[in-house]
Amino acid sequence: MIRAVKLSEILPMLMRLKKEVGGEVYIFGSVAEGAAIPFESDADILILPKGKHGRKDIFGRAWEAVKGMLDIGLTPHIIVYDPKRHAGLLEEVRKNGVRI
């Protein structure tokens, strides 16, 4: 039987990520739906950082969370919100994702 990764397994990592970057952090896709398969699925994460952080800084701050997810077989797919590029995505994620 294939075991799905539960949101509760990565919640501590996501909480740490939120603390590191501030603002809002959402998980969506297969992890939020409870259907993420280790070493097959990714962890879709949308970050709306608080304040002025460069993308490089945000990804640097996210490193510990990324390592933890990789250790349990999930590849993080991190999107740093840009209102020009992600307006539709934000609406969808707020409706169907999980805010951390």
Q: pLDDT 10s per residue in the chain (100 long)? A: 788 999 999 999 999 889 888 899 999 999 999 999 999 999 999 999 887 777 778 888 888 888 999 999 999 999 999 888 888 999 999 999 999 9
Q: Alpha carbon 24 to chain centroid distance?
A: 10
CA distance 6 to 20: 22
- What pLDDT is attached to residue 3? 86
- What pLDDT is attached to residue 25? 95
Alpha helices by DSSP H, the chain: 7-21, 30-33, 55-61, 63-71, 83-96
- What pLDDT is attached to residue 60? 84
CATH topology of domain 7-99: Beta Polymerase; domain 2 (3.30.460)
**What predicted TM-score, i.e. pTM, was given to this entire model?**
0.89
- What pLDDT is attached to residue 55? 76
- What pLDDT is attached to residue 22? 85
